[in-house]
Amino acid sequence: MGPADAAGGQARQIGLFFAVAVAPQPAPGTGLEIDGGRFFAHCIGRSLTSARIHIVCPHQYRALRLVMQELKPRGYRRPGLVMLRASDERVDRNWTAGFLVEQQALPVEDRLDPLLMEAWDEQEFTAWLYRTKPDVVVTKFVEVQALVLRLGFRVPRDLGTVFLTCTEPGSELSGVYENPDDVGAAAVDYLTSMTHRNERGVPRVAQRILIESSWIEGSTVRPSAVAASSAGT
């Protein structure tokens, strides 16, 4: 197993040195020792915390704020956020940060606490749904869509659903697309520039390159007032 395999990333040997893009790690707070003399290294995503190297990743904070800003003109007033606690921790809590910031514009009675689960639990979600009564659920759980339909909700008439990691730009699910091709291209460009600068090991000041996500209209939220007006003309 080579150095890149151990790091969970991709490497290219350049003479006696290695250029490594460390892949997103499966658990938050993952550590990695970087040989300062041999590696040009940066990380894709925020889950690697012990090695303070450069990062290229989607801008989850901005993505969640984009979602909330898209929901307002569609008439949603009581959004609820549901995800794994570990998923939020892997991105340095940027999902909940964006959600809580946007919540400040809502009436106090419509500010729902995020439901951060240790694992997907259908009963826990269902109890939360009936107790808090959101009018739209923002989530990373693909299981949500099938469950709310099974519970008898008409989507998007009774309840909207928004997904934070749509897998393709043309998704039928409304939500955000993290533009993985652009994240990958930026990672390669930055790693190449590091080799040109002969910048190896842990930098004195780590940099962050944050790639914007795109809104996916889909069909699981109501159309915006502008879209509805255009459709009626």
pLDDT score of 228: 53
Its pTM stands at 0.81
Alpha-carbon span 206 to 104, nearest angstrom: 31
- Using one digit for the tens of pLDDT, what is the confidence trace for 122-153? 999 999 999 999 999 999 999 999 999 999 99
Number of domains composing the chain? 2
Same domain? For 11 and 107 the reply is no
CB count within 10 Å of CB 140 equals 17
In the chain, pLDDT over 90 holds for what percent of residues? 60
Same domain? For 97 and 202 the reply is no
Least confident of 4-18, 60-74, 200-214: 4-18
Same domain? For 123 and 168 the reply is yes
Mean pLDDT of 199-226: 89
pLDDT score of 64: 98
Alpha-carbon span 157 to 59, nearest angstrom: 30
Same domain? For 8 and 88 the reply is no
- Roughly how many angstroms between the first and final C-alpha of the chain, as a whole number? 62
Q: Between residues 70 and 165, which one has the greater pLDDT?
A: 70
Give the mean pLDDT of the chain: 83
Same domain? For 148 and 89 the reply is yes
Same domain? For 113 and 224 the reply is yes
Beta-carbon-side half-sphere exposure of residue 129 (alpha carbons within 13 Å): 24
Task: Name the pLDDT band for 18 (thresholds 50, 70, 90).
Answer: very low
Decide: 82 and 126 in contact? Cβ < 8 Å. no
Same domain? For 192 and 226 the reply is no
pLDDT score of 3: 40
- Using one digit for the tens of pLDDT, what is the confidence trace for 216-229? 999 999 998 765 55
Task: Name every residue whose Cβ is closer than 8 Å to that of residue 84 and which is 6 or more positions away in sequence.
Answer: 116, 117, 118, 119, 120, 140, 141
Range of the domain at 142: 60-177+216-231
pLDDT score of 33: 57
pLDDT score of 9: 45
pLDDT score of 152: 98
Q: Reduced to 3 states, what is the DSSP secondary structure of residue 12?
A: strand
Residue 96 predicted with pLDDT over 60: yes
Same domain? For 76 and 14 the reply is no
Task: Name the pLDDT band for 46 (thresholds 50, 70, 90).
Answer: low
